[in-house]
């Protein structure tokens, strides 16, 4: 998997930009509760309308900065994902072009089509998830622990104690998801096979009046 992501080298500056933008977004998200706390303690309780207005505008500014960073990070990650997918498809196509007839027969056209299309899309989706969400989570976690430590040390201990539980849950979910993902890939291969057979043999199917049979066959595979 790491070998695949070596193709991200042309987008290294995009990735650095995403990291910076996500970091700024997390800082904005973590700072908002602090501003809200100040508004309640120093504004609402003391009935200081001017302070409430000032901090409210400041809170709005921080929210805007966080939103802009989130949009820009999503835009850059989409550009990286699309470019990465283009490189992957080119490499898969060039590799398949070098196959022998025996290798073509061993893999099958439906499997090769799935690898070039659906699998590349899956990798693109995973790339966006990593750049947008998986990158954001550890930064948010570290920032939240540091902020909690500055407010209450006991609260920090409680947060740290929950981390192993969360890690175990994620590991268990991953163990269940991976076999399901492999089954889905096999079913997509089968669907592509049936669809390809119908398209290439459409004249024979019509000549022998097998439209209903093939439709039923496709519906069975499609609904599986």
What is the full DSSP assignment across 121-146?
Answer: HHHHHHHHHIIIIITHHHHHHHHHHH
- Which contiguous run of DSSP H or E holds residue 179? helix 153-200
Q: Residue 69: what pLDDT?
A: 93
pTM score, two decimals? 0.70
Q: Which domain holds residue 30?
A: 1-151
Q: Which pLDDT score is estimated for 104?
A: 73
Q: What is the CATH number of the domain that holds 95?
A: 1.20.1560.10
Question: Residue 5: which of 84, 73, 116, 78 has the closest Cα?
Answer: 84
Q: What pLDDT is stored for residue 71 in this prediction?
A: 93
Whether 111 and 189 share a structural domain: no
pLDDT at 20: 93
Tell me the pLDDT tens digit for each residue of 151-192: 777 777 777 778 788 778 878 887 777 777 677 777 777 777
122/163 same-domain check: no
Give residue 169's pLDDT: 85
Regions of the chain short of the pLDDT cut 70 = 1-2, 108-110, 181, 224
Q: Where is the domain boundary, 103, 127, 151?
A: 151
Give the Cα separation of 216 and 7 in Å (integer): 42
List C-alpha distances in Å: 189 to 125, 166, 181, 185, 192: 19, 34, 13, 6, 5
pLDDT of residue 1: 58
Distance CA 61, CA 46 (A): 23
Check whether residue 17 and residue 81 sit in a common domain.
yes
Lookup result for tokens 């999503």: 74
**Tell me, what's the pLDDT at 110?**
66
Residue after which a domain boundary falls, among 151, 175, 190: 151
Last residue of a domain, one of 99, 123, 151: 151
The per-residue pLDDT for 21 is 93
pLDDT number for residue 19:
92
């Amino acid at each position: 998997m790491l070998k695949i992501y070596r193709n991200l080298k042309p987008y290294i500056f995009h990735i650095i930009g995403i990291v910076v933008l996500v970091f700024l977004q997390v800082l904005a998200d973590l700072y908002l509760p602090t501003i809200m706390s100040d508004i309640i303690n120093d504004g609402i309780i003391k009935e200081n309308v001017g302070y409430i207005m000032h901090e409210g505008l400041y809170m709005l500014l921080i929210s805007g900065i966080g939103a802009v960073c989130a949009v820009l990070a999503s835009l850059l990650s989409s550009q990286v994902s699309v470019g990465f997918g283009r490189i992957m498809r080119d490499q898969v196509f060039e590799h398949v072009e070098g196959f022998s007839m025996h290798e073509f027969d061993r893999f099958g056209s439906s499997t090769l089509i799935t690898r070039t299309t659906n699998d590349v899309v899956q990798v693109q989706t995973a790339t966006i998830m990593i750049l947008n969400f998986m990158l954001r989570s550890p930064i948010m976690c570290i920032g939240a622990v540091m902020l909690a430590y500055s407010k209450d040390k006991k609260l920090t201990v409680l947060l740290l104690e929950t981390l192993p539980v969360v890690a175990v849950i994620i590991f268990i979910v991953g163990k269940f998801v991976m076999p399901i993902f492999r089954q889905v890939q096999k079913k997509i291969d089968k669907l592509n096979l049936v669809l390809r057979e119908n398209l290439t043999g459409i004249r024979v199917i019509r000549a022998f009046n097998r439209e209903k049979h093939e439709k039923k066959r496709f519906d069975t595979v499609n609904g599986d």
